[in-house]
Amino acid sequence: MSTATTERLELPIEGMTCASCANRVERRLNELDGVTATVNFATERASVSYDPGTVEPERLVEAVAAAGYEAALPSAEEPAPEDAPDADPDASLRTRLIISALLSAPVLVLSMVPPLQFDNWQWLALQLATPVVIWGAWPFHRATWANLRHGAATMDTLISLGVLAAWLWSLYALFIGDAGMTGMKMTFSLVPTSGGGTDEIYLETASVVTTFLLAGRYFEARAKRRAGAALQSLLALGTKDVAVLDDEGAERRVPVSELAVGSRFVVRPGEKVATDGVVEEGTSALDMSMLSGESVPVEVGPGSEVAGATVNAGGRLVVRATRVGADTALAQIAKLVTEAQTGKAPVQRLADRISGVFVPVVIGIAVATLGFWLGNGESASFAFTAAVAVLIIACPCALGLATPTALMVGSGRGAQLGLLIKGPEVLESTRRVDTVVLDKTGTVTSGEMKLTEVALADGEERAEALRLVGAIEAASEHPIARAIARAAAAEGPLPAPESFANREGLGVEGVVDGHALVVGRPALLADWAMHLPPELDAARAAAAARGQTAIAAGWDGRARALFVVADTVKPTSREAIARLRSLGLRPVLLTGDNATTARAVAAEVGIDEVIAEVLPAEKADVIAGLQGEGRVVAMVGDGVNDAPALARADLGLSLGTGTDVAIEASDLTLVTGDLVAAPDAIRLSRATLRTIKENLAWAFGYNLAAIPLAALGLLNPVIAGAAMALSSISVVANALRLRRFKPARG
């Protein structure tokens, strides 16, 4: 093998219809020397590591084509997500489903309700069913033909054969058999009659089966399409244009794509930082929660490094760009999300895993049945009837409905409860998970700074302290100041300050009702010769031990109050942790905050294991490390910085109050934003998985029992069709039990 450096390539794959298709493409790629490939059916992409000295990228495309699918090398000028055409990729499938349903309904009614039948009604049924069988089921026929050309069989093969067998037999019965010569009378015997007998039509079977399976395929296509939306949400966080400074200091707005390393640009209050850089002029507080998930803004000034997509919450900044494009922190997080999603091995459904053997076996049994009865002197009608019965009774309607119906009912019930399940691949993970990692800020805690304590020097009144300090803080835009001002305003009206001055990074000064106030860090008060008395210093030390922020306030020459501000724990977090433990899960708190704050929060909610001071890019590594210890990990988070970890985890749960990218990168979304919904989401997912397995067990068990009966000539195709329909009804009825799922909370 060549010693050239291994390169990575993302290949978009077209034409895959089931997880077995992804496996076939993956096997074909991995047969090439110097290639290691993983194909993700959900994202329709192949992640390929290859040795460019051994294999050319074009060979990868050729290998995919040899497997029966299409691939294209990525273009360097691929359009951005926002430039993509505004089209619904599921529109064609939805149209096919609606028209098929409208045509199938009268066929079903005419076939099953004898009082509605009229002379020659079968010809009307034929005209209605034929477009469904040919056009409606065309995606199944097309995939079947493509797979057969490459010597493969999938669920599409069974669907296509079952539908076509029922329709072709109906044509035979109408144009050649007894049904066409006896005035279309619908009489039949339970067992095929040796030497001939009345032929039946199965147009309702062919059309209704097609409609049901189109509904399942439509639902699965929508779920798969949503799985790839995380990256687009991430990229949308960046700015579109930026105010660049020229050599003379004049500003001009340009697209952010024109920024280069070394460019100087302006960030005004309320604007996002355009790209990673270093502050050259100005001081401010940056809201880093979009990337770090932490609620306390970071004070920045000349020499401070800043990250793109963070929000300037204070003064005007001039920044020199140090990284642009794919090198920025935001782009790196997007890359982590993509790699984590690609790294997830596709979870094949049981039906697809078995279909590679099941389909040729069923076809072989049908052919053997035909040959056996012909060889034993039976009539062609009897032999063909028995063979068709084998194909019809093995029609995979129940197999195709087992997963989508349970998922539709389970996810529908979940939507009523504010629990969103992304797709069937999620469910297996919920059963195996043994460890749940929880982000702190915005997940276990509220993510919003609140005033938690007011400590007073001897002789001071709480109401007066809140009124004066709240008034001066109301003039500031700092998040900590806003928390104090909100709490003060809730207890009474605040006077307007007579003067106000902001001391960047330290606090504020001003005059309220004739009192000269200084509010901020104790060091700022010390500049005015105001030192904390013992009772306030003790309160400050206690707050620091809890990982909380203490703001000192003094007026008229004395330090008089201390305001403690913190990100508070959500009221339901402790209950949520207890319920997660009851499901056999081991909770772990993960945060970028300092260890003191993290341990205090963990103790309050009942978590023993804490991993603190973790950078955003390291969170996915922490998940991988836990997985390396043999744990099956669920991750609960709500911020952009959680997205790579959510994608990396075996099961990702995001809060609906979080960012879109976290929601898209997760497997389960808790719309309410309440952590106590997490155990309910896991319980519902496990119940849905259990229902799917029951459905599949019934569907396969039914086929294994019924196929021998049909092959022995003991079942008329009508009875086979009825049994097939009963199998489908049983699967749907079992799935509908999920509607009775009740949450443990509230």
Whose tokens are 């991750």? That residue is 635
- Name the burial class of residue 580, with classes exposed (0-12), middle (13-18) and buried (19+) by CB atoms within 10 angstroms of its CB: buried
**Strands of the 7-14 sheet, one edge to the other:** 35-40, 45-50, 7-14, 70-71
CA 641 – CA 648 distance, rounded (Å): 12
Instruction: Decide: 48 and 80 in contact? Cβ < 8 Å.
Output: no
CA 167 – CA 128 distance, rounded (Å): 12
Residue of 156, 199, 439, 642 marked active site: 439
Tokens of 424: 């069937």
Strands (E), 189-275: 241-245, 251-255, 264-267
* 262: alpha, beta or left? (left if phi > 0; alpha if psi -120 to 50): left
Tokens of 508: 């504020």
Instruction: Decide: 162 and 395 in contact? Cβ < 8 Å.
Output: yes
Interior CA angle at 622 toward 628 and 327, to 5°?
120
Distances (CA, A) of 279 to 294, 303, 308: 21, 5, 12
Write out the H or E segment, with its range, that includes residue 562. Answer: strand 558-569
Q: In degrees to the nearest 10, what's the CA dihedral of 338, 342, 344, 347? A: 130
CA 203 – CA 210 distance, rounded (Å): 11
Query: Any catalytic annotation for residue 51?
Result: no
CA 52 – CA 498 distance, rounded (Å): 71
3 state SS of 242: strand
Question: What positions carry a catalytic annotation?
Answer: 439
